[in-house]
Amino acid sequence: MKKLHQQHIPIPFEVGKTYKTKFATGEWFTITKLDKNKYDEVIGIWGIYGKHHELGVCPIGIDRLIQPMEFTGVEFEVTVCPNCKHEFKE
């Protein structure tokens, strides 16, 4: 069976914006500082938790924030296995 997928690219994190966390509680996290390496890649994120301002500025792992995605306008076709429902490109 064939299925259409849309290609998305991640939007980079920005200072001052609020993002939802991947925690079970679904907290919000406002970024105050981004640590970058010499290749301009984000290696650390600092900010304030939405409901816990008393904690002050805290670090959070890059993989713990839900990064927004943008549709590129490209669609591609994948094949779905009828038995296990696994999707793969041709």
pLDDT tens for each residue of 41-55:
999 999 999 988 888
- Residue 90: predicted pLDDT: 67
Predicted confidence (pLDDT) at residue 83 exceeds the cutoff of 70: yes
State pTM to two decimals: 0.75
Cα–Cα distances in Å, from 41 out to 5, 26, 34, 44, 66?
A: 28, 26, 10, 9, 17
Neighbours of 45 (CB within 10 A): 21
The amino acid at 9? I
> How far, in Å, CA of 69 to CA of 13, rounded?
11
Report the distance separating Cα 35 and Cα 42, nearest Å: 6
